Amino acid sequence: MAMGAANVIPGVSGGTIALITGIFERLVNSLKSFNILALKLLFKGKLKEFAIHIDLYFLLAVFAGIIFSILSIAKILDYLFLNYPVLVWAFFFGLIIASVFFVGRTVGKWRIPVVVYFIIGAAIAVSVSLFKPAQENTSLYYLFICGIVAICSMLLPGLSGAFVLILMGNYQLIMIEAVTRLDWGILLPVIAGGIAGLLAFSHLLSWIFRRFRDQTIGMLSGFMAGSLAILWPWKAEVYDMDAAGKLIMNRSGEPILQGYEYKLPDISDFEFWIALFCIFAGILTIAFIEWQGKKAKNNEG
């Protein structure tokens, strides 16, 4: 459920939650096991062996939580972003600060190459935040590509699938409108792309993670640190306008988000102190999830 909530939030990655709770490698390996052997077991009717091979019950638990969370959290976030944007972003900001610490702590040894990868990851994340979002596109091909790109970034700790959808121009269309209204004409091609991307990308990620673990975690920690630029709570939304200075609307009659204009907070404003509390609440939330993950791992051992 925490992964599902993170995947709806621009700037927060479900992969981050998977990494700090200790299920990331198991998730990637489970997805990677959808291979020729899995198909043979399935077609031969060896369902028990098939379930063991792909770690089926683990995947069902994870994805049931993700789907339930996305369907419920999307509506809540729609309301919160509309009414309390600074406080919501502040909470997410705290989540990522704590995530950088806890994920970075899993590196075996912070050698110079790992530090270099951390800096590269941070630079990439900051660069992504400066990109200009594309226009909304409802073509089936583009929705399929959105599914592939979003699911790959959702799986990568520190790289937000929701924010990538903002850059591709389809965040509002997919994560808010289609999810809350269950618009299957939009959702089905996105889901199809997501499944294709998930199965293909998991093999590559598993190979990289197995051979270059510390460097990979270093870069992913950098991604997360760099994403703090995206999540800065005190910012104003900038919407797309035509040459006459009028707002350009999407198909639902809502203005198209172009990006954000960042500013410093006013410490004399009471909202600043509430936002500060929300940042600490976000940090404590990740600390609690980390503690729960360790507790579950110890119980399994």
Instruction: Please give the helix or strand (H or E) that residue 124 lies within, else none.
Output: helix 112-129
Closest to 31 (Cα-Cα) out of 171, 175, 151: 151
CA distance 224 to 104: 10
Task: For residues 13 and 224, give the distance between their C-alpha atoms in angstroms, rounded to a whole number.
Answer: 9
Q: 129-141: per-residue pLDDT in tens?
A: 676 666 677 888 8
Q: What is the pLDDT of residue 70?
A: 78
For residues 194 and 152, give the distance between their C-alpha atoms in angstroms, rounded to a whole number.
Answer: 8
Alpha-carbon distances, residue 160 vs 6, 13, 67, 139 (angstroms): 8, 4, 17, 23
Cα separation, 220 vs 117, in Å, equals: 9
Per the CB < 8 A criterion, the answer to whether 16 and 121 are in contact is: no
CB-based burial, 217-236: b 16+ in 10 Å, e otherwise: bbbbbbbbbbbbbbbbbbbe
User: How far, in whole angstroms, is CA 301 from its chain's centroid?
Assistant: 29
Pull the structure tokens for residue 225: 């640190």
8 A C-beta contact, residue 120 and residue 182: no
Tokens 């049931």 identify what position?
64
Domain extent at residue 248: 2-300
C-alpha span between 251 and 185 (Å, rounded) = 14
User: What pLDDT, on the 0 to 100 scale, is given for residue 184?
Assistant: 87
Beta-carbon contacts of 84 under 8 Å, excluding residues fewer than 6 positions away, are: none
pLDDT 10s digits, 227-272:
787 778 888 777 777 677 777 666 656 666 666 777 888 888 889 9
Please report the pLDDT score of residue 57 as a whole number: 92
Closest of 219, 140, 239 to residue 184, by C-alpha: 140
**What local confidence, expressed as pLDDT, does residue 278 receive?**
93
Q: Mean pLDDT of residues grouped by 10 in the chain (301 residues)?
A: 74 72 81 85 88 90 87 75 84 83 82 91 79 73 87 72 74 76 87 85 79 84 80 78 71 64 85 94 84 68 55
Number of structural domains (the chain) is 1
CB 222 within 8 A of CB 121: yes
